[in-house]
């Protein structure tokens, strides 16, 4: 029987657009699938840039207007990698046009918008998935299985940090990620969103939070138009105000009684992409660090006295999640493979009429925590997630 063809329209062609394009290009090479992606159309506002991206990444056509893209009869799935302030309009437009929707995180700029997006996609009856791609790292998927199997017992603690340093130079210019009107927030929505989702995935739902934030560099050089890809840019002669947080930290309590600490910053010198968490339970502990993404540390309290200690698990065995499709054990995979795994799960869900995970429900749940932290900072108090 012929495999189902899923025609994809991708909005955005910079950092995330390239990562998503690579996933569609390679997924069928490694995974046996019930559906195959057709890289039909890539969309971007700059015709010269998007035309070059279409040729380089392997897309059949390009568009410069996302509204034309979502109305095309030959598109089944709309993938949104545009900046955060564009997510709502494109996602709603795609769903109303009957397209399945795949969207980068965070889902929206606030809870109200996230809730509206979810209501529209559910009413339209389309599949929806948010790109919390770190869930798809084999080591993290293995950690989820170990926790579900009771290997660390009752969870007491989650402590997560996401540390970067790419804007530590005060002369680094204002890219869109430093503009609240476009990004919604800084390190909080960009980095904390990931570790919030991982905490929900591995530990459970949040109960309440209390936070603090700081913007260390209040003014920066303005950006030369057309030179920014979100993480790189050229400066002009003028200066402007930084309108997002450089660092946000918060404490949290989970519904199941566990407690947590979260720290996201772009001012941790020497930390390029340090996404690390540790989970402590009654029977053991688990540690993960994205910069060593093929490894998982595991401590078992039942090991014999005198032989106890953290053991290193190479999460590359064919028995580990997703690894059957890749290389022999210890032939490691990388960051880009998390996108391939996410796309694989998405396409399989569409082909088999199931809801992919994580869905926009998870996007809304994450946004509720993000907004609760912001409310806590503004009002200088603990905020319950139920208030959101």
What tens digit of pLDDT does each residue of 205-252 get?
999 999 999 999 999 999 865 545 556 677 777 899 999 999 999 999
Tell whether 237 and 325 lie within a shared domain.
yes
Q: How confident is the model at residue 51 (pLDDT cuts 50, 70, 90)?
A: very high
Determine the pLDDT at residue 223: 83
Domain boundary, last residue among 81, 103, 134: 134
Same domain, 101 and 176: no
Specify if 217 maps to a domain: yes
C-alpha 262/C-alpha 270 separation (Å) is 19
Q: What is the mean pLDDT of residues 23-50?
A: 97
pLDDT, average across residues 282-305: 97
Q: Are residues 222 and 268 in the same domain?
A: yes
Same domain, 61 and 172: no
Retrieve residue 150's tokens: 């009771």
Q: Read off the tokens for 173.
A: 């210019």
Judgement on whether residues 172 and 79 belong to the same structural domain of the protein: no
Q: Residue 137's pLDDT is what?
A: 98
Instruction: Please report whether residue 361 resides in a domain.
Output: no
Do 194 and 266 fall into the same domain? yes
- Choice among 35-39, 224-228, 282-286 with the minimum mean pLDDT: 224-228
Domain boundary among 119, 134, 149: 134
Instruction: Evaluate whether 248 touches 192 at the Cβ level (below 8 Å).
Output: yes
Same structural domain, 145 and 218: yes
CA gap 142, 316 in Å, rounded: 10
pLDDT band at 35 (very low <50, low <70, confident <90, very high): very high
pLDDT digits (tens, 9 = 90+) for 316-362: 999 999 999 999 999 999 999 999 999 999 999 999 999 999 999 99
Looking at residue 17, its pLDDT comes to: 97
Task: From 112, 134, 156, give the residue that closes a domain.
Answer: 134
Mean pLDDT, the chain, integer: 96
The verdict on 308 and 216 lying in the same domain is yes
Query: For 60-89, what is each residue's pLDDT tens digit?
Result: 999 999 999 999 999 999 999 999 999 999
Structural domain range at position 288: 138-292+294-333+366-379
Q: For 38-54, what is the mean pLDDT?
A: 97
Residue 52 has pLDDT above 70, yes or no: yes
Provide the sign of the torsion angle of the four alpha carbons 169, 174, 178, 180, taken in this order. Answer: positive
- Taking residues 12-26, what's their average pLDDT? 97
Of 331, 344, 306, 380, which is closest to residue 136 (Cα–Cα)? Answer: 344
**Residue 347 counted as domain residue:** no
Give dist(CA 365, CA 352) in Å, integer.
25
One domain for residues 172 and 319: yes
């Amino acid at each position: 029987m012929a495999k189902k063809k899923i025609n994809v329209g991708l909005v955005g062609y910079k950092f995330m657009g390239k990562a998503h394009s690579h996933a569609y290009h390679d997924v069928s090479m490694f995974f046996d699938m019930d559906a195959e992606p057709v890289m039909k159309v890539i969309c971007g506002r700059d015709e010269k840039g998007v035309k070059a991206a279409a040729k380089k990444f392997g897309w059949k056509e390009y568009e410069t207007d996302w509204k034309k893209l979502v109305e095309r009869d030959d598109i089944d799935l709309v993938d949104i990698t545009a900046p955060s302030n564009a997510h709502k309009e494109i996602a709603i437009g795609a769903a109303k046009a009957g397209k399945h929707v795949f969207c980068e995180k965070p889902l929206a700029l606030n809870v109200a918008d996230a809730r509206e997006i979810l209501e529209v996609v559910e009413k339209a009856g389309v599949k929806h998935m948010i790109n919390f791609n770190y869930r798809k790292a084999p080591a993290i998927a293995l950690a989820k299985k170990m926790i579900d199997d009771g290997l660390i017992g009752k969870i007491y603690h989650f402590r997560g940090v996401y540390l970067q340093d790419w804007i530590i130079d005060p002369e680094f210019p204002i890219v869109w990620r430093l503009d609240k009107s476009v990004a919604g927030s800084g390190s909080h929505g960009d980095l904390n969103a990931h570790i919030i989702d991982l905490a929900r995935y591995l530990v459970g739902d949040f109960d309440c939070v209390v936070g603090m934030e700081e913007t260390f560099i209040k003014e920066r050089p303005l950006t030369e138009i057309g030179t920014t890809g979100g993480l790189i840019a050229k400066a002009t002669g003028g200066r402007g105000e930084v309108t997002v947080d450089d660092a946000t930290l918060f404490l949290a309590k989970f519904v199941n009684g566990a407690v947590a600490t979260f720290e996201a910053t772009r001012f941790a010198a020497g930390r390029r992409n340090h996404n690390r968490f540790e989970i402590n339970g009654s029977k053991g502990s688990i540690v993960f660090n994205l910069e060593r993404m093929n490894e998982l540390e595991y401590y078992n309290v039942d090991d014999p006295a005198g032989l106890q200690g953290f053991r290193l698990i190479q999460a590359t065995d064919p028995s580990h999640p997703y690894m059957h499709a890749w290389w022999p054990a210890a032939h490691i995979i990388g960051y880009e493979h998390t996108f391939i795994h996410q796309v694989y799960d998405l396409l399989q869900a569409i082909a088999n009429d199931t809801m992919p995970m994580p869905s926009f429900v998870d996007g809304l749940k994450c946004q509720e925590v993000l907004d609760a932290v912001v409310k806590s900072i503004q009002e200088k108090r603990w905020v319950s997630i139920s208030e959101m």
